[in-house]
Structure 1
Amino acid sequence: MTDRPSIDALRTALIALALALIAGCASQKPEPTDEPAAEPAQSEPEPALKTEPKVTREDVKPSHPVRYTVKRGDTLWDIAAMFLRDPWVWPEIWSVNPQIENPHLIYPGDIITLAFRDGEPRLIVERPGMPEGGDGYEKLEPQVRERSLDEAIPSIPADAIRQFLNRPRVVTAEELERAPYIVGNYEGRLISGEGNDVFARGFEGSEPDADRYNVYRPGDPLREPDTGEILGYEALYVGKAAVRQGGDPARLHLTESTREILRGDRLMPADRQFARGEYIPRLPDERVDAQIIQLFDAISQVATNQVVVLNHGETDGAEVADVLAVMQSGGTVQDPYASAEGTETVELPPQRVGTLMIFRTFERVSYGLILDATQSIRLNDTATNP
């Protein structure tokens, strides 16, 4: 029979040996291996933003001039079109010279050149009298150089849109209903003109709230092409009037008339908005699918520097300086070779025929200036993202 104390002593010795072995293993450092240590699981990283330039060599016209001297009558759009396939990208590639505070204000005599920096195209403005190089390290002597803003060439043809900026041309039915109206003149004639006094009613209170008014005649409604919904009314400008005496009726003097002024013509406070000095073109933030619903000074088609109305307004996200491509239906052709049974009608894809820029917005519609056109632009042509 085995002695009990001997068994207990053996068990104690074995336990001590096991503890020693465990401690020794824990104190040893693992041998280095070629396999990388496993990293803790992490969430999927977000994809990196693209860093490629928005404008590349492919966007430059092969036939661009080496140097161009700005002339009176030029516009920034026209100059950009000499160098770029898509002129609206010019703000992205202006190379700002330290001596030129705002390259969007350029003047006759300035020199425009195209250069590539790190593979990206740059339009460079050089001004006579600037130190050569334009790298900003030349020591410049203090001097005063004054140039009138009126001398700067415009971004777009300002004369083409000026009349649309200082006269509101689209109104709602409610605005027409609330507007004061002409009821007659001293002589009792139906027609008045520049130099005549007229009387008007409909002012809130006994005194007019403005001393100068534009005179409008309600025009045709602007409708959504697909549904016929009225988006607004064209207000036809017919003259200007200055208040001579308040009351009901109020007395006004006609200071201008572009056509005969009639009873029922409406009065609206003169809009003080004028043409902006700069329109820096931009691509719309959202998808645009609009139609041309009216042409100004034309019956069926317009061309460069003419104005159109779009069924795309502030409620749709329209913003001033948005650039859109004008697309025209490709029509249909007959394909007699498609099958033996007979001729098949094939609808051609739409083609791009021009570019426009929105220059004034209203609630449901906007005005666009045709900046370039490869062929006549028609009523119901579409306008979308370039």
Structure 2
Amino acid sequence: MIRKSIGLLAGMLVTVAVYAAGAQLRADHPDTYTVRKGDTLWAISARFLSKPWLWPEIWQANPQVQNPHLIYPGDVLNLSFINGPRVGLQPRVRTEGEPIPAIPLSDLRMFLKEMRVLDTNQVKSLPYVVGFEEADLRGTVGRNVYVRNLQAEPGQRVAIVRPSQTFRNYNGSKGRDNGGDLLAHPLDSDVSTVRTPWYEESRNDGYYGKGEDIGTEVSVIGTAEVLRTGDPTTLLLLDSTLEIRKGDRILPIDDKPYDPYYYPHAPKSLPGNARVIAFADAHDAVGPRQVVALNIGAQDGVENGQTYSIYQPGESIPDDVASNSWNRGTGKSVTLPQEFVGHVMVFRTFDRVSYGLIMDGLRPVHKHDKLELPE
């Protein structure tokens, strides 16, 4: 028992030493900081730590912190260098205030997009919009929308969703680390088909119909209330972010699509070939506070709050210096180093795909940018 205790203590000391070495305090940190109402753990950590996503491990190494995810207004952070960086909370009696979350949902909700990844066949069989009041070409708020194949009761509220892209895995039998690749394909403009355009699939695949269907992304674009049952069912459009059109689908409302708050933290491992594969509301590039789709999900150990560094792969260019002067551009080539782009935090996870919010960035994020463990 004594040997086991000594071994456990040694392991704890090594762990604390590793965390301390990995999360250096900034040079301009004060000796103490008193937590104030309105603070968030991410903001405090970004102010004092060079690697703010390591705050849970640092504070967990302090035995007086019962829960490293919770601090309160009035808590005093002791910041000092004693045999290396040390971050601690001064013990006190909780008398007032609510716990300080890392990033409350209220700070992020305006930026998040509600997407769901469903089985493609399920999407095809969902109830769908077939027409509008007075033969309108599009559905607008306050007008009636007619839906087929909907089983619902008067007064029930539903979500209107639009299939936006499909996810397909190519060379999946080889595994992600050995050439497997998951790509996102924009759907045909005619949403009633819920299929990938032939030119998109053949361009990435080389042969139409090849590849493993992972699922279809649908985006929530509005809510409606059932007025009269039947086939078609009459719905009143309550709100929408886009004009509703024929072929949009109907799903039950998800009352809690997001976590109440998020704790950014570094993942323990990185799945192979992890990349950005799609955008929620852009075509070419995105920046801070925009949503991206990642080709990793719950099956890869991804969970909400995990934070990754994004890198732009280095470009391969001809080495004109090493080539002969008469055939420049046709000789040897060199691949430039990858460049840091920014950080992305996962906020919603599905089996094979997850969605993240770009937290910060030095340059635009593009599709196929790589994910790395944060440094």
Q: Could you tell me the TM-score, scaled by structure 2's length?
A: 0.71
Corresponding residue of 1:232:
215
1:266 equivalenced with 2:231 (yes/no): no
CA distance in 1: counterparts of 2:108 and 2:305, whole angstroms? 15
Which aligned pairs between 1:53-72 and structure 2 lie closer than 5 A?
53-57=17-21, 59-66=23-30, 67-68=32-33
Which aligned pairs between 1:1-386 and structure 2 lie closer than 5 A?
51-52=13-14, 53-57=17-21, 59-66=23-30, 67-68=32-33, 74-94=39-59, 102=67, 104-106=69-71, 111-116=76-81, 119=83, 121-125=85-89, 134=91, 145-148=95-98, 152-155=100-103, 158-161=106-109, 164=112, 167-204=114-151, 207-208=152-153, 211-223=156-168, 224-225=182-183, 227=205, 230-273=213-256, 274-285=258-269, 287-338=271-322, 344-386=332-374
Preserved contact between residue 73 and residue 97 of structure 2 (Cα < 8 Å)? no
CA distance in 2: counterparts of 1:91 and 1:266, whole angstroms? 41
CA distance in 1: counterparts of 2:355 and 2:361, whole angstroms? 17
CA distance in 1: counterparts of 2:141 and 2:68, whole angstroms? 44
- Greater length-normalized contact order (CA 8 Å, ≥ 6 residues apart): 2
Alpha-carbon shift at residue 222 of structure 1 (Å) = 3.9
Q: Could you tell me the TM-score, scaled by structure 1's length?
A: 0.69
CA distance in 2: counterparts of 1:375 and 1:71, whole angstroms? 33
Preserved contact between residue 77 and residue 87 of structure 1 (Cα < 8 Å)? yes
Preserved contact between residue 194 and residue 254 of structure 1 (Cα < 8 Å)? yes
CA distance in 2: counterparts of 1:347 and 1:156, whole angstroms? 41
Tell me the alpha carbon deviations over residues 193-249 of structure 1, each in whole angstroms, 9 at most, x when there is no partner: 222233322135xx4599221111222334534657554333233311122333333
CA distance in 1: counterparts of 2:322 and 2:293, whole angstroms? 40
| 1:292 partner letter | V
Of 369-378 and 279-288, more deviation after overlay is shown by 279-288
| 1:219 partner letter | S
* Percent of aligned pairs with the same amino acid: 35
Unaligned 5+ runs, structure 2: 1-9, 169-181, 184-203, 206-210
Alpha-carbon shift at residue 380 of structure 1 (Å) = 1.1
Tell me the alpha carbon deviations over residues 5-36 of structure 1, each in whole angstroms, 9 at most, x when there is no partner: xxxxxxxxxxxxxxxxxxxxxxxxxxxxxxxx
CA RMSD, aligned part only?
A: 3.5
Preserved contact between residue 324 and residue 356 of structure 1 (Cα < 8 Å)? yes
Tell me the alpha carbon deviations over residues 294-317 of structure 1, each in whole angstroms, 9 at most, x when there is no partner: 123333222233221111122333
Q: 1:209 to 1:288 in 2, by over 3 A?
A: farther
Q: 1:182 to 1:308 in 2, by over 3 A?
A: same
Q: 1:110 to 1:185 in 2, by over 3 A?
A: same
| 1:374 partner letter | L
Alpha-carbon shift at residue 385 of structure 1 (Å) = 2.8
Preserved contact between residue 69 and residue 263 of structure 2 (Cα < 8 Å)? no
Alpha-carbon shift at residue 91 of structure 1 (Å) = 0.5
Preserved contact between residue 289 and residue 384 of structure 1 (Cα < 8 Å)? no
CA distance in 1: counterparts of 2:154 and 2:267, whole angstroms? 39
Q: 1:275 to 1:59 in 2, by over 3 A?
A: closer
Preserved contact between residue 320 and residue 361 of structure 1 (Cα < 8 Å)? yes
CA distance in 2: counterparts of 1:102 and 1:315, whole angstroms? 27
Q: 1:325 to 1:278 in 2, by over 3 A?
A: closer
SS at match of 1:195: coil
Alpha-carbon shift at residue 62 of structure 1 (Å) = 4.2
Preserved contact between residue 94 and residue 122 of structure 1 (Cα < 8 Å)? no
Preserved contact between residue 105 and residue 261 of structure 2 (Cα < 8 Å)? no
Of 363-372 and 71-80, more deviation after overlay is shown by 71-80
SS at match of 2:278: strand
SS at match of 2:231: coil
SS at match of 2:115: coil
SS at match of 2:134: coil
CA distance in 2: counterparts of 1:209 and 1:168, whole angstroms? 26
Corresponding residue of 2:179:
none
Tell me the alpha carbon deviations over residues 53-76 of structure 1, each in whole angstroms, 9 at most, x when there is no partner: 222346314424214455666532
Greater Cα radius of gyration, structure 1 or 2: 1
CA distance in 2: counterparts of 1:110 and 1:191, whole angstroms? 54
Alpha-carbon shift at residue 51 of structure 1 (Å) = 4.7
Unaligned 5+ runs, structure 1: 1-47, 127-133
Alpha-carbon shift at residue 90 of structure 1 (Å) = 0.5
Q: 1:85 to 1:168 in 2, by over 3 A?
A: same
